[in-house]
Structure 1
């Protein structure tokens, strides 16, 4: 499995993790922002009026209201990316990475406006009376031309739909339940199998009911989980009020230089902070990925632009509001750059040849260059000599875990209680990695990231130790709602590829896989997720750029429609 994961990492290095991918994503958003004259600013107030139900009518074609479509799409985007993703971005790229997440969101507001509008314009009504849409439908139904001749993009639509099915597992199902079950085990001591079994039953009951039941559940879950999370977050931010201004200065102060070293954080250069911030921004709000247009296609509307307006609000809520709040919690609490006692993940251990002291400025500079991909250092090949849980030959190497110098390391046998099972013997190291067949575990002090870091930060507020439970409950609701929404995305992709009869089999596999992932190592799933996200995003970006003139005409048509049907109503300039 490690070889498979390494192969997938290699594939991902050419697409989603490649240096050009963030520029393609941001470049598309920037292009449409200028080409359409900043619609995310011009139409923002109008979007709020639409989602409030100002122009809703029951007789319009569709299955859900504007608000329900927004809630369903938000439940698919507001998930582990907002709790764990922000922490991971700051862990990798420092506070400056959060700035690039926000830039991704601002431009993503425009990208989502475009992709949802086009998806809604070219949606189809299925034989069962429900609406189906998404990039695969506009790729099939839109009038694509090249040199004056019509171009058939059904093959590109098929690639997108297939990637959506895979991503529904790699993004929406398997990692979400694994995060939930791990958090429930760590916080409440609930066995992962029990968590997986209970939530799999609930998941099955919700998704069998289709989009109407999904919309009904998510429209209640999203506001509820946001309120719980906000209460806990502001309890930390206001408790550490003296750090609010320094935190904001850290976010915006080093955006063109990268984040400087502080505490256990070794530092990140501009390229590293930019790439990680944009990457996590996409994972958080999914702007340009093409997933949200599938949810929005079900909304009741006879003008596609009205639903595109609603989509403007998604990246604003998801990233600019929720991710910024999470970032302020992490930075104001001070937890992000401190070393904490934790069990080391083998995948995050890197043992370098020679000993580099953290207190030595020159040595620390070399580690900085190594971690930021500027100048790689040789990795250690040899043995770790362990006596009574202590590594004795530390002068031969530097032990890095989670992009930080690891301190006070103890080695234990992998079975039994930590206090009674100290390890004695030799541990083999090859290419800087611990051999996977070594039946030992390492516990020491290092930086932590993702949900565990957010949980630590939430404990540093008015609620004290109880703050971690807010993270656990928030992660449960966020991640579960994401799994619900992504089941619908996969549902529509399966319908497109194989017809409506295939959906029931997909749902069964989705729920079964959801259960088994609750107690499995999903490292390979996260890697697969990164690939499928890129495979969804790239054809979608190509399609919407190709239809840029169609999009501009759609805005003009909506202006004519609005003025004719709602005379006297205040509205922005559409032309």
Structure 2
């Protein structure tokens, strides 16, 4: 058995029914307990993106924290990952990706809220937070091994998964096919740019992200809309393909015969998590640094990351592939998307390449920070600089790794992060409800019926925090 086959076996086992049930079940449970907050409070969440008061302690603005999280989230998963999911599981995988994203919005809300509530300051005076802290400080110190597992897995994802290899490989493949730039040249440029930005830490990353993320997202959305308008007549057929593939035992075309519902679901959910990272526990690491005094406020802002990434960007990518018919061809990954856009207008492939480069580069920056915080949790601040240097070296080497192994490694490491994080979210769901009620009561003090009114979770919810019991 070669390496790829071994990784495929491990990946199939880890992304089997247990993890799919845990991912979807956690999102469903939080959706029920929060009374469909991702729908009812979405307008408020979108409003907060640009108008959060930025009151309280923190290292960066709420928008800066969101931009850093989106920088890591809106990456190759939004382009290459969607194409890979449809290639493996057929059009039906897009449906399950969107379903997972809907429940993932509640999950991402809970992650952002808990990351702010249980954040701490490291020895350098910077805020640190994320699943490793809300596992240990929220669930209790007896769960520290689970927190350590998350942090260790987070380092693996940053160094050998989402943070380096898939992003670099996507960039070098696209630049070579579109502009003829040699792989070595692209690898050197990416490595140098990564070093320049990441050595400056979170504030440098956030500064770059707040400028690049809005531009790259807007550019890609516009290009997608142009393609969909040109092929508008194919939209009804594309929608039918998605629904048929989601609930039938075989997909719509002979090339995908045998693609079962389970395969479509597994491909959609796995690539969906790769794209929006809901349940993975990565984005709350950035959310913990936001300037806010309300954990629920940052939770709402964090929730918009899933909406922007999957509900908008991934959805547009998927339907672009379907309406153009490119999805049923022999292309892989980014080339599939490039050909879909070039079939609509001459400069389509080049625009996709530019978008992909920006998406992938900002993802590298965001994941550098995530891995750094995990290193700080496990080993202390003195290991941050060695980690950064190793990260830059791996970015340089990522251009020469085989693509099949890259995606499989990313999936496996994602699962290793998701398990401890999802367990913590279920265990701390009562805290999420209590903090949500407190925040909503502060916004609407004279309104008796809020989103959680009548939930009767208890007039006094005992919260264990830093050895003291307080009423929430």
**Alpha carbons of structure 1 residues 279 and 532: separation in structure 2 relative to 1, 3 Å:** same
Is 1:493 the counterpart of 2:374 in the alignment? yes
Q: What is aligned with 1:126?
A: 122
Q: What is aligned with 1:453?
A: 336
Q: Report the 3-state secondary structure (helix = DSSP H, G, I; strand = E; otherwise coil) of the residue aligned with 1:85.
A: helix
Q: What is aligned with 1:227?
A: 218
Would you say how many aligned residue pairs link Structure 1 and Structure 2?
452
CA distance, structure 2, for counterparts of residue 193 and residue 56 of structure 1: 43
Counterparts of 1:313-332 in structure 2 under 5 Å? 313-332=304-323
Distance apart, 1:547 and its partner CA: 1.1
Q: What is aligned with 2:353?
A: 472
Counterparts of 1:548-567 in structure 2 under 5 Å? 548-563=429-444
**Alpha carbons of structure 1 residues 108 and 68: separation in structure 2 relative to 1, 3 Å:** same
Q: What is aligned with 2:137?
A: 141
Q: Report the 3-state secondary structure (helix = DSSP H, G, I; strand = E; otherwise coil) of the residue aligned with 1:190.
A: coil
Q: Report the 3-state secondary structure (helix = DSSP H, G, I; strand = E; otherwise coil) of the residue aligned with 1:142.
A: helix
Which of the two has greater helix per residue?
A: 2
Q: What is aligned with 2:417?
A: 536
> Which of the pair has the greater relative contact order for Cα pairs under 8 Å at 6+ separation?
2
Contact 1:83 1:475 (C-alpha < 8 Å) held by counterparts: yes
Q: What is aligned with 1:183?
A: 174
Contact 2:27 2:106 (C-alpha < 8 Å) held by counterparts: yes
What is the TM-score with the length of structure 1 in the denominator? 0.75
Counterparts of 1:91-102 in structure 2 under 5 Å? 91-102=87-98
CA distance, structure 1, for counterparts of residue 248 and residue 407 of structure 2: 29
Q: 2:401 is matched with which residue: 517, 520, 535? A: 520
CA distance, structure 1, for counterparts of residue 255 and residue 122 of structure 2: 56
Distance apart, 1:176 and its partner CA: 0.8
CA distance, structure 2, for counterparts of residue 571 and residue 474 of structure 1: 44
Q: In structure 2, list runs of 5 or more residues that go unmatched.
A: 454-472
Counterparts of 1:167-182 in structure 2 under 5 Å? 167-169=157-159, 170-182=161-173
Which of the two has greater strand per residue?
A: 1
CA distance, structure 1, for counterparts of residue 225 and residue 449 of structure 2: 35
Q: What is aligned with 1:275?
A: 266
Q: What is aligned with 1:115?
A: 111
**Alpha carbons of structure 1 residues 522 and 240: separation in structure 2 relative to 1, 3 Å:** closer
Q: What is aligned with 1:14?
A: 13
CA distance, structure 1, for counterparts of residue 405 and residue 269 of structure 2: 22
Counterparts of 1:344-493 in structure 2 under 5 Å? 447-461=330-344, 463-464=345-346, 466-493=347-374
Task: Name the Cα RMSD after superposition.
Answer: 2.0
CA distance, structure 2, for counterparts of residue 234 and residue 208 of structure 1: 37
Q: Report the 3-state secondary structure (helix = DSSP H, G, I; strand = E; otherwise coil) of the residue aligned with 2:252.
A: coil
Q: In structure 1, list runs of 5 or more residues that go unmatched.
A: 145-150, 339-446
CA distance, structure 1, for counterparts of residue 44 and residue 438 of structure 2: 16
Q: 1:75 is matched with which residue: 71, 75, 81? A: 71
**Alpha carbons of structure 1 residues 332 and 522: separation in structure 2 relative to 1, 3 Å:** closer
CA distance, structure 2, for counterparts of residue 254 and residue 11 of structure 1: 25
Distance apart, 1:240 and its partner CA: 1.3
**Alpha carbons of structure 1 residues 530 and 314: separation in structure 2 relative to 1, 3 Å:** same
**Alpha carbons of structure 1 residues 260 and 513: separation in structure 2 relative to 1, 3 Å:** closer
CA distance, structure 2, for counterparts of residue 296 and residue 529 of structure 1: 22
Q: Report the 3-state secondary structure (helix = DSSP H, G, I; strand = E; otherwise coil) of the residue aligned with 2:79.
A: helix
**Alpha carbons of structure 1 residues 136 and 469: separation in structure 2 relative to 1, 3 Å:** same
**Alpha carbons of structure 1 residues 5 and 97: separation in structure 2 relative to 1, 3 Å:** closer
Q: What is aligned with 2:32?
A: 34
Q: What is aligned with 2:46?
A: 48
Q: Deviations over 1:265-314 (max 9, x none)?
A: 43622222112111111111110000000011110011111100111111
Contact 2:34 2:452 (C-alpha < 8 Å) held by counterparts: no
Q: What is aligned with 2:463?
A: none
CA distance, structure 1, for counterparts of residue 253 and residue 245 of structure 2: 13
Q: 1:288 is matched with which residue: 272, 279, 299? A: 279
Contact 1:93 1:258 (C-alpha < 8 Å) held by counterparts: no
**Alpha carbons of structure 1 residues 325 and 571: separation in structure 2 relative to 1, 3 Å:** farther
